[in-house]
Amino acid sequence: MQIKKFIFSPFEVNTYILYDKSKKCIIIDPACNNKQEQDFLLKFINENRLKPVKLINTHCHLDHIFGNKFIADTFNLETEASKDEEFNISNAHNAANLYGIKMDAPYPIKKYLKEGDKISFGFSELSILHVPGHTAGSLVFLSSEDKFIIAGDVLFKGSIGRTDLPGGDYDTLISQIKIKLFTLSEDIVVYPGHGPETEIGIEKQTNPFFQSETYT
């Protein structure tokens, strides 16, 4: 599986395209919010002759769904995310107005994803982990074969997602990271929603939010 990262919008969101030899791909958290960013994304898809088959959100804060409507319209795709993200996606357009940001109102979630489900495309498959705390429906996508996770805003290099927005809860996020993510192999690469990549082992050893813990 190949991973292409784009950094879009003033919020510097990591948008990911995952693809394999089949040329089928999925788009995770399309954050392109102007024509230049949209064209940049399309250029990569077209130059690599990719066929987008899924539009997926780790969660539905406005910065991670700026490009949802554009991707849905361009490739005739439906939004896939947790049912618990319906509040965030339905309020995203109003939130954008509060920030003074122009945004196309996203379509509702059409396919609900939950822990235990699989995301299949081409020759590839991702497992879904539900890791609430940043939002109620935050999802992490795991490739056991290629040893990586797409973590959204759950876990960052040296940090964690904020928990002061609706649906957020600090204690829940901390406990869920320890239960769901820090039990994974330490060489799993973490592709976060913002910032650079890291590894599970590195975060267990150095992330300041977990240094009171001992892992064996």
Ordered by where they begin, the domains of the chain are 2-210 (3.60.15.10)
Tally of CB atoms within 10 A around 179: 11
Go through 55-92 and write b for each residue having 16 or more CB atoms within 10 A of its CB, e for each that does not: bbbbbbbbbbbbbbbbbbebbebebbbbebbbebbeeb
Q: Rounded mean pLDDT of 5-13?
A: 96
Q: Rounded mean pLDDT of 189-206?
A: 97
DSSP notation for 51-76: EEEEEE-S---GGGSTTHHHHHHHHT
C-alpha separations of 128 from 125, 131, 136, 156, 165 in Å: 10, 9, 15, 18, 23
Task: Check residue 95 and give its pLDDT.
Answer: 85
Q: Rounded mean pLDDT of 157-178?
A: 96
Q: Is the separation of the CB atoms in 58 and 138 below 8 Å?
A: yes
Task: Check residue 98 and give its pLDDT.
Answer: 83
> What's the pLDDT tens digit per position in 108-132?
999 999 999 999 999 999 999 999 9
> What's the pLDDT tens digit per position in 56-69?
999 999 999 999 99
Task: Check residue 99 and give its pLDDT.
Answer: 83
The overall average pLDDT reported for the chain is 95
| Entry pTM | 0.95
Residue 101 has pLDDT above 90, yes or no: no
